[in-house]
Amino acid sequence: MFLTFIGGAGTVTGSKTLIESDGHRLLVDCGLFQGTSDDRARNWEPFPVDPQRIDAVLLTHAHLDHCGYLPALVRDGFVGPVYCTPATADLVAIVLRDSAHLQEEDAAWARRKGFSRHANPRPLYDTNDAERAIQLLRPRPFHEDFAAVDGVMAEFEPGGHILGSSVLRLREDGDRPRTVVFSGDLGRPSHPLLVPPPPPADADAVVIESTYGDRVHEDVTTGLEDLARTIRETIRRGGTVVIPAFAVDRTEVLLKALKDLRDQQRIPAVPVWVDSPMALATLSVYTRAIAAGEPEFRSEVLAEGVGILDLDDLHEARTPQESMDLDRPGAKIIISASGMASGGRVVHHLKALLPDPRNTVVLVGFQAFGTHGRALAEGAEQLKIHGQYVKVRAEVVSVPVFSVHGDAEELLAWLRSAGSVPDNVFVIHGEVGSSTAFADRVRAELDVCAVVPKPGERVRV
Ligand SMILES: [Zn+2]
């Protein structure tokens, strides 16, 4: 079996690994590159393998950096099945429709305002491509072996990162059977809604993410108090708290935290707005799954039921006008996508809210290099938004406690929890420093080959 690391190698986005086995080709994840314009330009390069010659795609979860390239692959000729868990299929449909819509909107907006470097900006793919990709989704439940192609069996195990997220095991049969485990994005044992990922299956090779491969997260109590204090102070001065949040999962985790803080009277009762049609659609997938008693959820979450995400004074901004009205001054909390402020409605909020020192931007997730979120996290005094410079006077606070990625200790503990140590560990899905630091630790502590594959590198397992 051969693995080629097409995307997500030495970077946090664009996850794609090609598997070749006995003349068959599989693609594990099909993510979009995000971040700097150089990163995004990679989405426009010709795919390194003719998409028509790929037999099947397997998706570990529904985040855009793992599934967002799929419509482009379909546009270029891929017609095979796309395997993923049932909840991932529900969420991927939401994410791809939103992505196509956003790209169409951004292209139209750039054309109207004339700030693009391109004379005639066009979307990477459109709604029609996204719909065709959605038609190819073939849900497979957790813990069930199925043939991904002849001679390669696959199985999804819960990944604990977002609803439906999985750790994927591929087993190549034959006289020299080989097994490879893909961590996907690996959740934290402390995810407030989901159960932790089980130990990985015994494998010859493990391909593991390393978003936080060089860091240890702050403890949950400190993080929640940081958030509560930030909200109290912003509300006291009559400001708006804007939280860029991944629509999938982070919004749910935040709503639960805000509900807990309010129940404990640690934050004042101000309106909370969820301003992302995608986040609202996602929320209903989560509440349906909780109501159905899905075992991915923690027992205490299932015991409490859908009320766990139900905040008094929760509002939904569905139309663009409702969204724009939120930028009037006043005490409130806005949760809006995208999570790295690289696109979507939150960018418009930042443009309107950053110049006012009463307001606060709370960053709750990983901020990739090149995004507005990263610039704010690093203390930018001005931002270029839609071609125009905007002064940053608002307070900017990072509260990484909401990360749904394991930190270095948690990733290592998961690797160690396998019944036997793999021969090879491939460290992907991290910025180079983070991936390298984690590979060094794996090599030193587990005494195995651990490498950060170069983009495009092909290895034999
Ligand atoms: Zn993810």
The full set of domains in the chain, from first to last, is 2-215+404-460 (3.60.15.10), 220-402 (3.40.50.10890)
Distance 185 CA to ligand 1 centre (A): 5
Distance 429 CA to ligand 1 centre (A): 10
pLDDT value of position 337: 87
C-beta neighbour count of 108 within 10 angstroms:
13
pLDDT value of position 366: 84
Distance 246 CA to ligand 1 centre (A): 9
**CA 340 – CA 343 distance, rounded (Å):** 8
For the record, the structure tokens of 225 come out as: 């108090």
Q: Look at strands 332-336 and 272-275 and give their pairing.
A: parallel
**CA 312 – CA 449 distance, rounded (Å):** 52
pTM of the model: 0.90
Averages of pLDDT over each 10 residues, the chain, 461 residues: 92 93 97 86 93 98 96 97 98 95 84 70 93 98 97 97 97 94 94 94 97 87 92 97 90 92 94 91 93 95 89 88 94 92 90 97 90 96 94 94 88 95 95 95 95 96 95
Q: Is 104 exposed, middle or buried (0-12, 13-18, 19+ CB in 10 A)?
A: middle
**CA 22 – CA 204 distance, rounded (Å):** 18
Distance 345 CA to ligand 1 centre (A): 20
Distance 356 CA to ligand 1 centre (A): 32
Distance 404 CA to ligand 1 centre (A): 8
Distance 237 CA to ligand 1 centre (A): 35
pLDDT value of position 118: 67
Distance 366 CA to ligand 1 centre (A): 10
Distance 175 CA to ligand 1 centre (A): 35
Q: Is 220 exposed, middle or buried (0-12, 13-18, 19+ CB in 10 A)?
A: middle
The CA distances from residue 316 to 72, 261, 271, 279, 461, in Å, are 31, 20, 10, 10, 49
**CA 233 – CA 237 distance, rounded (Å):** 7
